Amino acid sequence: MLKGIPKILSPELLKVLAEMGHSDRLVISDGNFPAESMGKDAIVIRCDGHGVPELLDAILEVFPLDSYVEKPVNLMEVMPGDDVETPIWKTYEGIVAKHDDRGASAIGNIERFAFYDEAKKVYAIIATGESALYANIMLQKGVVVD
């Protein structure tokens, strides 16, 4: 164990976060996301017993968001015709605002199939047990400034 590191971040996940460089991206996926098929060229880390918000908050404790792009955080858009509420997105806004001065303005949306295309190019996918629909979130890493 280490001091100051959120306990939810496993050694495997910490290693991956540390290996990532500026502009590398990761997806924290909900339980319905096809993490294994999307992540054939990525590192897939299973965190089935956890939800996206708790992992997002812990990750953003140690993971800077990219300051060189307007939207370093992206959500999967709800498909037209889907009658789905996404209250988890408000939770994400609060978490992002806690860790990044841009707050909700750092968060964008990507159409569902474009999100899948982008997910195939990420460095890592963290597969959670999150049951909320459209709870997938993509983060782009920034630089650590001391």
Residue 104, in any domain of the structure: yes
pTM reported for the whole predicted model = 0.96
| pLDDT tens per residue across span 86-120 | 999 999 999 999 999 999 999 999 999 999 999 99
Identify whether 117 is part of a domain. Answer: yes
The full DSSP string for 61-124 is: HH-PBPSSSS-SEEEEPPPTT-----THHHHHHHHHHHH-TTGGGGEEEE-HHHHHHHHTT-SE
- Selection from 93, 105, 108 nearest residue 60 by Cα: 93
- Of 66, 92, 123, 134, the active-site residue reads 66
Task: Answer yes or no: is 11 within a domain.
Answer: no
What pLDDT is recorded for position 63? 97
Evaluate if residue 146 carries a pLDDT over 80: no
Does residue 70 register a pLDDT over 90?
yes
State yes or no: pLDDT of 13 exceeds 80: yes
Q: Please answer whether residues 38 and 124 qualify as being in contact, where contact means their C-beta atoms are separated by less than 8 angstroms.
A: no
One-letter amino acid for residue 59 of the chain: I
Q: Assess whether 68 carries a catalytic annotation.
A: no
Q: Is residue 28 part of a domain?
A: no
Domain CATH code at residue 107: 3.40.1650.10
Confidence at residue 2, expressed as pLDDT on a 0 to 100 scale: 83
- Catalytic entry in 24, 50, 99, 116: 116
Average pLDDT, integer, range 37-49: 96
The mean per-residue pLDDT over the stretch 48-63 comes to 97
Active site residue 123: no
Residue 4 lies in a domain: no
Q: What is the pLDDT of residue 1?
A: 75
Q: Which residue segment(s) compose the domain that 94 sits in?
A: 39-140
Check if 99 is active-site: no
**How many structural domains is the chain composed of?**
1
